[in-house]
Amino acid sequence: MLLRHGYAVFFPNPRGSTGRGQAFARYVLGEMGGDDTYDLLSGLDHLVERGVADPLRLGVTGFSYGGFMTSWLVTQDSRFAAAVAVGPLTNHVTARLLSFIPQLIDLFLADTYTTAGGKYFCRSPVMQAGRVATPTLSICGALDRCTPPVEAAQFHNALLEHGAKSVLITYPQEGHGIRKWPAAIDCTARILAWFQEQMPVRGAA
């Protein structure tokens, strides 16, 4: 949909992702929101250098881990003109206590939520919401047990509290991912509309 409307799409494979073997996948253990962040940003730097991407019109979106990374990236870098986080983790403490896969968070942070000032705190996007200037759309399913809807709601409220532009959409019959009809069509349309509003394609009416 984005391609059909004139956007270039960068679909990266940062450390921790699948398709390049177990050793590559393990690079993210204990480092969620660490070096994987710079993998993504360096890819954008490369596309800007090549003239593929306009540095003033960069958007970011992702689902699940990508939802976390979308929320995290806008707290770490001000280059983004628009963001859409779908099914994100934004507060690792609440996610650890409410998600039905709590061990995953311990594994990916290599820490415990009782460590004062540890990664559960410093790698949580909600704790750094005051640094966000990017207009952000957060999308979640009310029945999501993997990344509970309270994660998107917390980030949305934190952004509003700090004066950032934020919209929250919750689909009442959806779980982890917006998959049913007509919700899937509605979600796709809203994502496209958000990017068109915040960073319209040049020459578009």
Which residues are tagged catalytic?
A: 64, 176
Look at residues 114, 40, 113 and name the one whose alpha carbon lies nearest to residue 71: 40
Sequence-separated contacts (24+) of 192-197 with Cβ below 8 Å: 192/1, 192/2, 192/5, 194/82, 194/84, 194/135, 194/137, 194/167, 195/2, 195/7, 195/59, 195/82, 195/84, 196/5, 197/82
Work out the angle between the directed axes of helices 65-76 and 35-49 (0-180°, nearest 10): 70
State how far Cα 154 lies from the chain centre.
14
Query: Residue 108 half-sphere exposure, CB side, CA atoms within 13 Å?
Result: 25
**Cα–Cα separations (whole angstroms), residue 166 to 159, 178, 186:** 6, 19, 18
